[in-house]
Amino acid sequence: MFPLIKILRAFRKQIFPFRFIYSDNYWADLGEHVFPVVKYKLIYEALLRRGAKKENFLAPQLAREEDLLLVHTPKYLKKLETGDLSHSEILTLELPYSPELLKFAFLFVGGTILTAKKALEDGLAVHIGGGFHHAFPDHGEGFCVLNDVAVSLEKMKKEGKVERAMVVDCDLHQGNGNAFIFAKKDYAFTFSIHQMDNYPAQKPSSSVDVSLWTGDGDEKYLSKLRSNFPRLYQDFQPDLIFYLAGADPYEKDQLGGLRLTIEGLRERDRIVIEEARKLRIPVAILFAGGYATQVKDTVSIHLNTVKVAQNIQRKYS
């Protein structure tokens, strides 16, 4: 290899010392739905403007049925494939069903699987997507068709890549799907810090749940977070962390009542990521939810997560 090419590749790696997982097919037409599908493309384009190169991105494959069956029931997958969902099931899903939506969901599961693999290889990886934590084995709900986090964790466990894994869920909404799926599995630890007086109405117990209420802001949120980390990392000693870096605790989110500022969210990211990397625990970052009135705010929050991860990974890699 020519010396100049080596230098250029080393420089690009220094800019972003980890891989992004992204597909141009991260898109489904949801009409006027509050779910901002466009955010994935906007984040990708913003990263390119900030110096990321095509080789910093890896494109996932569609999830295989055998992997989905590690979590989801054959009956539910059949319903999805045939479009035979009842009116009630579609209402619970809260998304307009279409074959395009199904491909969208399959691809995100593939993306989180790839993110987990790259995190284990490199110490950290970022999925420009993922974090669909409300999906249950036999149904979808709350904008979540398939549970990419649970499928990925189970696949890493099955393949012997991890013995124990942790889900650190900082989305505004409690990760009810993950809590239910991993309730009796001692190799998985689920942590959720969320707005209690918000969706979902029924919240199965996570390994640790931290409940906040409408109006709670940076000080209370960050205090609760610091009281749990790095202690939980040290106690459970996971081989991999799935970090759901939701943008919806933001004070201007349409679906939330917490009052975290941009700076508060940045500090949240620093605590979760840095305490893990200090202990040399790999982190798979997933962007999860975010429904700010201005989509540019949601995009900025996710880009801040990348910047925090960038600085920390340089420090500890």
For the segment 174-221, what is each residue's pLDDT rounded down to a tens digit?
A: 999 999 999 999 999 999 999 999 999 999 999 999 999 999 999 999
**Any idea which architecture 20-316 has in CATH?**
3-Layer(aba) Sandwich (3.40)
Percent of the chain with pLDDT over 90: 93
pLDDT of residue 11: 45
pLDDT of residue 8: 47
- Per-chain mean pLDDT for the chain: 95
pLDDT of residue 5: 52
SS3 (DSSP) at 136: strand
* Burial per residue of 262-299, b for 16 or more beta-carbon CB atoms within 10 angstroms, e otherwise: bebbebbbbbbbbbbbeeebbbbbbbbbbbbeeeebbb
Tokens of 217: 């802001």
Of the pLDDT bands very low, low, confident and very high (cuts 50, 70, 90), residue 1 is very low
